[in-house]
Structure 1
Amino acid sequence: MTLSVHSLSFRYGAKQALDQVSFDLSPGFTALLGPNGAGKSTLFGLLTRLFTAPQGQITVAGHDLARSPRAALASMGVVFQQPTLDLDLTVRRNLLYFAALHGLSGRTAETRTAEALARLGMAERAAEPVRNLNGGHRRRMEIARALIHRPAVLLLDEPTVGLDAAARQSIVAHVHDLAADGLTVLWATHLTDEVRATDHLLILHQGRLLADARAESIAPPASLQQAFLALTAAPVHAAPGASSSPRASPQPTQAPT
């Protein structure tokens, strides 16, 4: 498994943000689906060590995040919900700057940057300032930047926020292609149309994991939104599980991918 989370819990004062969350990810696309306030951003904050968990374990590419944080973090690429590109730098300089942060320089950094630009189809725009790009191209750039050090895991926290329908669809397809090439992807979203039937799906609600299975085993694509709404409509202590249908069991479920 490339990313493992076991018995992860976290509180903000009296509020239980995450409650005994456990899952294992292997290469491929995993959607972390949850309504606003479900705990998705808290989970990402713990995975990226923005803050630390008093309970639970996170392992990235074989590295324990608590014991070997530098090695674990070096194995991840992250695209946060809020854009973090420097709008005044050129496309190329943004990529080179991030490569330097990962200890890449000289010919290696130049080669990785050229590869990223070619993959994005943006080689001819390398000298343009990022502010000239539209929202979709900026997001693609952030994804390319997150992969420039060739991590094993890519984390994306609601990466399509603010994009129009065409750009959103394009980004979803692009990241699915990356996952198909062997990358482990964890994609946080509250939008069911970003989840494909064959995706590994985690459903998070009020800090607890309600489903951990292939999306099509939870609900057919046409009814995934209804299943998601049914799971997250009730208080978590009364929420049904989702091993094969949204009302299969009175307890949260975890199934193999």
Structure 2
Amino acid sequence: MSKTVVSDEPPSSSNQAAALSVAGVSHSYGSRRALDNVSFSIAPATFLALLGLNGAGKSTLVSLITRLFGVQSGSIEIFNHDIRHRPSEALRMLGVVFQPRTLDLDLSVTQNLVYHAALHGIGRREALARADDLLRRLGLADRSKDKVRVLSGGQMRRLEIARALLHRPRLLLLDEPTVGLDVKARFDILTYVRRLVSEDRISVLWATHLFDEITPDDDLVVLHHGKVRAHGVASHVIKDAGAPNLHSAFVQLTGAAVDTVSSAP
């Protein structure tokens, strides 16, 4: 039988706005409810893992946060800016890496970045300077003139992260960013994103179905069939579920069959 656990959340200063606040959000596609009264928040400079299987509602939530879909019920705020009432201010603070690739394969690495920068009103000279810095940090400086189509899957993902960081957001949202990548590419991307949190103090929402991408110290939201089944520090969620590990805790919290969880794509 599934149960809901709300565990201890990481401490946050009372005078700091949450990087992301999702409050009472529900969303339906016709008669099918994809999200049901979802609430959680991300403290500044925090890595939060949104864990759920396919169909959990992760992509719907991402679409709401990024305003691809309108909010039907509840509210979403990014650093106190409501995305319905102050969308420009909210989205200015948000960088996004969507699950589907959205790069122009026939443009070069740098051209992709400069084009995206222009959409944010960043001039060419400043765009080139920021692009050079990000490509260096992400290990892509030597590929700057290459067309995107010749990059590996991991390199494309790193480029998408660079693009998402061009306008210097305070919150980075990544929807299943390591799907289809090999073990090393997954490790490199996750390591870099965690470094953004620890060194650059960027807040991160990392949506995934992969248990091994979550550490015991991460803030964690377990989403299943559109409902939050647990929210808290991952180690506390596991302990409160009376489970030996995250995989077992997830099964207990969601009631999902073990073979379904084990074979998640």
TM-score, normalised to structure 2's length?
A: 0.85
The equivalent position to 1:198 in structure 2, one of 188, 196, 217, is: 217
Note the 1:3-14 alignment, pairs <5 A.
Answer: 3-14=20-31
The amino acid that maps onto 2:138 is L
Q: Matches of 1:222 and 1:193 in 2, distance apart? A: 14
The amino acid that maps onto 1:12 is Y
How many residues align? The count is 235
The equivalent position to 1:224 in structure 2, one of 234, 246, 250, is: 246
- 2:231 aligned residue: 212
Counterpart check, 1:98 vs 2:120: no
The equivalent position to 1:37 in structure 2, one of 50, 55, 70, is: 55
Please state how far the C-alpha of 1:104 moved relative to its aligned partner.
0.4
The amino acid that maps onto 2:131 is T
Cα 1:219–1:95, aligned 2, differ >3 Å: closer, same or farther? same
Note the 1:1-257 alignment, pairs <5 A.
Answer: 1-26=18-43, 27-181=45-199, 182-219=201-238, 223-233=245-255
The amino acid that maps onto 2:205 is L
Q: Matches of 1:219 and 1:62 in 2, distance apart? A: 31
Please state how far the C-alpha of 1:234 moved relative to its aligned partner.
5.3
Cα 1:109–1:55, aligned 2, differ >3 Å: closer, same or farther? same
Please state how far the C-alpha of 1:222 moved relative to its aligned partner.
6.4
SS at match of 2:47: strand
Q: Matches of 1:69 and 1:199 in 2, distance apart? A: 28
- 2:262 aligned residue: none
SS at match of 2:245: helix
Q: List structure 1 runs of 4+ shifted beyond 6 angstroms.
A: none
Q: Matches of 1:77 and 1:231 in 2, distance apart? A: 31
Q: Matches of 2:233 and 2:60 in 1, distance apart? A: 23
CA-based RMSD of the aligned residues comes to 1.5
Q: Matches of 2:113 and 2:256 in 1, distance apart? A: 45
TM-score, normalised to structure 1's length?
A: 0.88
- 1:243 aligned residue: none
Higher relative contact order (CA 8 A, sep 6+): 2
